[in-house]
Amino acid sequence: MSAGSGPPRIAVIPVRSGVLPSGAQETIAEAGGAALLAGSGTAEAAAALAVDAASVATAEIGEPAFGGWAAALAPLLAPYRAILLPASPDGRDLAPRLAAVMDRPLLAGATEYRDDEVRLARYGGLILDHVTADGPVVVTLQPGVRGTEPRTRDLPAPEPAAVKIPDGHDAAVLAVSPPDPGTMDLAESKRIMAGGAGLRGPGDFRLLARVAAAIGASMGATRVVADQGWVAHERYIGTTGVAVDPDLYIALGISGAIQHVTGLGAPRHVVSVNTDPSCPMMAMADLALVTDAPGLLEALARRLGIEPDAGAGEPEPAGARGQEASHG
């Protein structure tokens, strides 16, 4: 497997039932096009790659058992100076085990890897730390921070890799429960309903969370909303918040400031609800609705059989709407 230019590097992508995790395409691009897909349904996942790849190997080793995976994959990965994984839930589970088995440092939460120079996000993205790797490393790359170019050539034929999990090396997986959209990692959510300062206060966000749950979506927010304390900070999408890449993004009362949209990745479908038809988020939208966001939220809630609680419509703190333009 070729690792492209610079120090040899490879992307290791955990796969469940043929589904690529969030950040997989970006990680392969950051690794120079060399990829190892490990898990179940790896051939199907390889066919779904949308970025140029210099080489693709597949290791069909079943459902997640990350300690065993690390032991099985380590000999195959030994020649590579840098092993990159997406910072998806499975990537974050596998990476430290690989680092331990291979006796390498783990550089977690990277936003960039270039020829041994690594940029790491710290303190929720408030600080970017620059590190020089002076030896072999394992790196996790945050989804949504890099972006990718569309594939320009046919994918190489996947090369099956002969790997086997050592007997008795890991716990058995008895069941896999689907994630709760209301509590799952926002970076992994494929449907997101997000609110900005166009909503009126904490009551509207409690209602937004209920409506989002009813349609199988996760709730997101802008920075000004998190700073006001209306939602938990882990719900904030943006440059210094969570980077997402959903299939569907519904923006209620969000103007689309640059600090927010840089955290959106490349949503397949965008719906924007705003009274300002010329704001950036409306220009990004596949469907733009020029109307009052709180009113539409309440109407949608009632259509879904959800009655707004007594706290909905609480007045917003003074100045919140003005901050939206600068914080997104």
User: Is position 171 within any domain?
Assistant: no
Q: Which long-range contacts link 44-51 to residues 24+ away (Cβ below 8 Å)?
A: 44/18, 45/13, 45/15, 45/18, 45/19, 45/20, 46/155, 46/158, 47/155, 48/18, 48/20, 49/20, 49/25, 49/151, 49/155, 50/25, 50/148, 50/150, 50/151, 51/25, 51/148, 51/149, 51/150, 51/151
* Residues 220 and 318 both lie in one domain: yes
pLDDT in tens, 195-210: 999 999 999 999 999 9
Highest mean pLDDT pick, 6-15, 139-148, 229-238, 249-258: 249-258
**What is the CA 152 to chain-centroid distance, rounded?**
24
- What is the CATH number for 311? 3.40.50.1220
Residue 85 phi, psi (nearest 5): -130, 150
* Residues 137 and 190 both lie in one domain: no
* Residues 14 and 154 both lie in one domain: yes
Residues spanned by the domain of 82: 9-160
* Residues 156 and 194 both lie in one domain: no
* Residues 21 and 152 both lie in one domain: yes
* Residues 108 and 210 both lie in one domain: no
* Residues 201 and 88 both lie in one domain: no
pLDDT score, position 3: 42
- What is the CATH number for 26? 3.40.50.620
pLDDT score, position 36: 96
Average pLDDT, the chain: 87
User: Is position 173 within any domain?
Assistant: no
Is pLDDT of 10 > 70?
yes
User: Is position 80 within any domain?
Assistant: yes
User: Is position 259 within any domain?
Assistant: yes
Q: What is the mean pLDDT of residues 84-111?
A: 94
- Enter the DSSP assignment of 24: H
pTM above 0.85, yes or no: no
Question: Residue 319 — pLDDT band, cuts 50, 70, 90?
Answer: very low
Q: What is the mean pLDDT of residues 247-259?
A: 95
The encoded tokens of residue 77 equal 């990965």
Is pLDDT of 320 > 50?
no
Is pLDDT of 149 > 80?
no
* Residues 145 and 210 both lie in one domain: no
Q: What is the mean pLDDT of residues 222-238?
A: 92
Q: What is the dihedral of CA 150, 155, 161, 166, to 10 degrees?
A: 30
User: Is position 275 within any domain?
Assistant: yes
* Residues 203 and 138 both lie in one domain: no
pLDDT score, position 125: 66
Is pLDDT of 146 > 90?
no
* Residues 288 and 197 both lie in one domain: yes
Q: What is the mean pLDDT of residues 235-259?
A: 90
User: Is position 44 within any domain?
Assistant: yes
User: Is position 129 within any domain?
Assistant: yes
Q: Which residue among 160, 175, 203 closes a domain? A: 160
pLDDT in tens, 28-70: 999 999 999 999 999 999 998 888 888 999 999 988 889 999 9
Residue 261 phi, psi (nearest 5): -70, -25
* Overall domain count for the chain: 2
User: Is position 42 within any domain?
Assistant: yes
* Residues 151 and 190 both lie in one domain: no
* Residues 213 and 299 both lie in one domain: yes
